[in-house]
């Protein structure tokens, strides 16, 4: 078995498979290791939304718009069906304060090329008859898209292997190989592997893994829950999220439920999301993703408020996910520790950035620089008040 690679990617989710694909496409010798199965973490437990209108700063919005353009040709590029479907994204406001903030925030983005529309509740109900308008003042709407997460993950993985990349599932990283202060590889449950660069794309597991190198990465996580219904006729064709979701989901120390909803191409409705913040705790190894009473009660209340006619539809499954985030909501993207280590994790939205970040990483590693100015993308390290070594 070959044990020497140019780049080792740790984490078989969206970031890991995308970066492995983009690098292998340029003939970089890649090993991708995943502690469980491809997509076991958050990348296999999401709505598959390609989100644009919720970007929180200028550089993120510009990258998102560029990446959205790249997404339109991704199926052609990979020569695979990813179930790419254009779809409206609706962010709705319940209170006057939310509506004022939302309009203000989104108006600023119009100048940067985000052609978002503002709908009143009447327009919303004409387009989406199942929504109850009682509690909605207005919404911002943008034509985004959705993909099938599994088709994307396995698509990137398949093309990586066809390009000569090696993927090892059920392979846990237990330590790093460090020589003269540089990271030179990984120690896994299946042996040692060496490389010039190790890229951690380990999401909510990044913090505990980086501590093996005495590197403190400020990534926390929320444990988020969702329900899935049985398949239903086409009821709505949008992704719904309340404006308060983007404030409350990761911003409060208490358990909270804010409704995000969508219907898959197959017809299942997904009701999310109850969030349990878990500051400072490491993810348990037990592979249990429990369904909480708070989720049952919280989702019932929200669906009763916004989609009362759908309360009688049967749920067939619940799921849980460890969603990574940083307290300042800036992603970790760069070289935060010893030479030979890169981290790509905790972007507020992930799917949207896959093409452009994959391209940027490939540029950085093959040409030494990126065609994008990434100033402002990442932020100061909040744990020791020093600027992270970032791109």
Partner 1 sequence: MTTNEFNRNEFVCRCEEVTLEEIEKAIIAGARSISAVKRFTRAGMGDCQGRICGRLVRNLLVKITGQKYESFPPDTARFPIHPVSLSQLNKKNK
Nearer to partner 1, 100 or 304 (CB): 304
Q: Per-residue contact track with partner 1, 204 to 243, x per CB under 8 A? A: -----------------------x--xx------------
Token pair of 265 as six digits: 């191409």
Candidate residues 75, 80, 83, 300; the one interacting with partner 1 per rule CB under 8 A: 300
Provide, rounded to whole angstroms, the least separation between the CB of residue 306 and partner 1.
12
Q: List beta partners, residue 4.
A: 194
Residue 318: how many other CB atoms lie within 10 Å:
18
Q: Left (φ > 0), alpha (ψ -120 to 50) or beta: where does 57 sit?
A: beta
Dihedral, CA atoms, 165, 171, 177, 182, nearest 10 degrees? 50
Provide, rounded to whole angstroms, the least separation between the CB of residue 12 and partner 1.
12
For 43, 127, 299, the CA distances from 303, given in Å and listed in that order, are 25, 18, 6
Candidate residues 285, 311, 384, 386; the one interacting with partner 1 per rule CB under 8 A: 311
Question: Contacts with partner 1 in 13-52 (CB under 8 A)?
Answer: 37-39, 44
Give SS3 for 135: helix
Nearer to partner 1, 39 or 138 (CB): 39
Token pair of 254 as six digits: 């208490």
Give SS3 for 154: helix
Q: Do 226 and 264 form a contact (C-beta atoms < 8 A)?
A: no
Token pair of 358 as six digits: 């994959």
Q: Does 293 bind partner 1 (CB under 8 A)?
A: yes
Candidate residues 283, 296, 364, 374; the one interacting with partner 1 per rule CB under 8 A: 296
Q: Distance between alpha carbon 351 and the CA centroid of its chain, in Å? A: 6
What is the pairing mode between strands 256-263 and 117-120?
unpaired
Q: Per-residue contact track with partner 1, 126 to 165, x per CB under 8 A? A: ------------------------x--xx--xx-------
Site size with partner 1, rule: CB under 8 A: 36
Candidate residues 152, 303, 357, 391; the one interacting with partner 1 per rule CB under 8 A: 303
Candidate residues 70, 315, 364, 374; the one interacting with partner 1 per rule CB under 8 A: 315
Provide, rounded to whole angstroms, the least separation between the CB of residue 157 and partner 1.
8
Nearer to partner 1, 230 or 373 (CB): 230
Give the span between the Cα atoms of 372 and 196, in whole angstroms: 24
Judging by beta carbons within 10 Å of its beta carbon (0-12, 13-18, 19+), is residue 53 exposed, middle or buried? Answer: buried
Nearer to partner 1, 105 or 228 (CB): 228
Give the span between the Cα atoms of 10 and 324, in whole angstroms: 16
Q: Per-residue contact track with partner 1, 245 to 274, x per CB under 8 A? A: ---------------------x-x--x---
Provide, rounded to whole angstroms, the least separation between the CB of residue 299 and partner 1.
7
Provide, rounded to whole angstroms, the least separation between the CB of residue 163 and partner 1.
15
Q: Do 218 and 190 form a contact (C-beta atoms < 8 A)?
A: no
Provide, rounded to whole angstroms, the least separation between the CB of residue 294 and partner 1.
10
Using N-to-C axis directions, what is the helix angle for 14-24 and 149-162, rounded to 10°?
Answer: 30
Candidate residues 180, 253, 312, 367; the one interacting with partner 1 per rule CB under 8 A: 312
Provide, rounded to whole angstroms, the least separation between the CB of residue 225 and partner 1.
10
Give SS3 for 335: coil
Provide, rounded to whole angstroms, the least separation between the CB of residue 125 and partner 1.
21
Closest CA to 306 of 361, 258, 254, 376: 258
Using N-to-C axis directions, what is the helix angle for 354-367 and 14-24, rounded to 10°?
Answer: 50
Contacting residues toward partner 1, per CB under 8 A: 37-39, 44, 150, 153-154, 157-158, 169, 227, 230-231, 266, 268, 271, 287, 289-291, 293, 296-297, 299-300, 303-304, 311-319
């Amino acid at each position: 078995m070959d044990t020497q690679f140019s780049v080792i990617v740790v984490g078989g989710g969206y970031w890991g498979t995308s970066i492995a694909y983009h690098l292998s496409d340029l003939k970089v010798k890649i090993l991708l290791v995943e502690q469980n199965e491809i997509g076991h973490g958050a990348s296999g437990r999401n709505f598959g939304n390609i989100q644009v209108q919720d970007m929180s700063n200028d550089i993120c919005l510009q990258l998102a718009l560029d990446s959205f353009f790249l997404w339109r040709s991704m199926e052609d590029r990979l020569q695979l069906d990813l179930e790419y479907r254009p779809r409206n994204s609706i962010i709705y406001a319940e209170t006057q304060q939310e509506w004022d903030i939302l309009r203000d925030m989104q108006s600023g983005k119009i100048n940067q090329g985000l052609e978002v529309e503002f709908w009143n509740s009447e327009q919303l109900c004409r387009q989406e008859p199942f929504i109850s308008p009682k509690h909605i003042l207005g919404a911002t709407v943008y034509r985004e898209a959705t993909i099938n997460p599994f088709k994307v993950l396995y698509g990137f993985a398949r093309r990586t292997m066809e390009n000569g990349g090696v993927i090892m599932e059920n392979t846990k990283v237990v330590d790093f190989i460090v020589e003269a202060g540089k990271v030179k590889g990984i120690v896994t449950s299946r042996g040692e592997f060496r490389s010039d660069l190790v890229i951690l794309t380990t999401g909510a597991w990044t913090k505990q893994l980086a501590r093996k190198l005495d590197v403190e990465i400020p990534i926390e996580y929320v444990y988020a829950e969702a329900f899935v219904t049985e398949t239903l006729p086409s009821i709505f064709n949008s992704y719904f999220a309340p404006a308060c979701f983007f404030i409350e989901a990761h911003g409060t120390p208490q358990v909270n439920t804010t409704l995000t909803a969508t219907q898959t191409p197959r017809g299942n409705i997904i009701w999310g999301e109850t969030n349990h913040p878990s500051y400072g705790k490491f993810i348990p190894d037990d592979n249990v993703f429990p369904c909480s009473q708070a989720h049952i009660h919280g989702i019932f209340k929200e669906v009763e408020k916004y989609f009362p006619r759908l309360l009688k539809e049967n749920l067939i499954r619940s799921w849980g996910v460890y969603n990574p985030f940083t307290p300042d909501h800036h992603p970790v993207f760069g070289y935060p520790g010893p030479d030979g280590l890169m981290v790509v994790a905790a972007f507020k939205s992930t799917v949207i950035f896959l093409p452009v970040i994959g391209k940027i990483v490939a540029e950085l590693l093959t040409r030494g620089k990126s065609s994008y100015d990434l100033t402002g993308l990442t932020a100061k390290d909040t744990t020791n008040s020093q600027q992270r070594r970032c791109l």
